[in-house]
Amino acid sequence: MNKIRKKRLVSVMTLIATSFLGVYLILSALNSNLDYFYTPSEIINAEIPNNKRVKLGGMVQMQSVIRDGTNISFNITDFSNSINVSYNGVVPDLFKEGSGIVAYGMIVDNRLIAENIFAKHDENYMPPNIKIPSE
């Protein structure tokens, strides 16, 4: 490899390294601000002020779903803490006890008044007749 090409190769490497370093610094400064939702533990520890809109994500706690007409109330849990969520409207098809859910709404006295409910689905795909492997 001749001298000019070697020099160019070094500049190309420097260019790539600099852009990676720059973006790494930006991302580490943003840190968890890029997270899509908070977990129940994060919300409880952060003591979010009343009437602030947040996205809360976790699992729908087993045996916590109470339906009353179109009103629905349930707990979102991360298995160490849970927060009660109430919502008026149609929940997505994938909403089930034990399934992953993201609720968007206002925190009022450590309860979440949801305006939107989104369902998360995990990376597992299988036919319905196969028994779901227990965790």
Question: How far apart are CB 110 and other proteins at their closest, in Å?
Answer: 21
Q: Which of 68, 72, 64, 67 is nearest to 88 (CA)?
A: 72
Q: Which of residues 76-135 bind other proteins (CB under 8 A)?
A: 91-94, 99, 102, 116-130, 132
Query: What is the separation, in whole angstroms, between the first and last Cα of the chain?
Result: 56
11 near other proteins (CB under 8 A): yes
Minimum CB separation from other proteins for residue 6, in Å?
A: 9
CA distances from 103 to 50, 70, 114 (A): 16, 16, 6
x/- map, 13-52, other proteins, by CB under 8 A: --xx--xx-xx---x----x-xxxx-x-------------
Separation of alpha carbons 24 and 31, rounded Å: 10
Smallest distance, other proteins to C-beta of residue 75, A = 18
Least gap, CB of 22 to other proteins (angstroms): 8
Q: List contacts with other proteins (CB under 8 A).
A: 5, 8-9, 11-12, 15-16, 19-20, 22-23, 27, 32, 34-37, 39, 57, 91-94, 99, 102, 116-130, 132
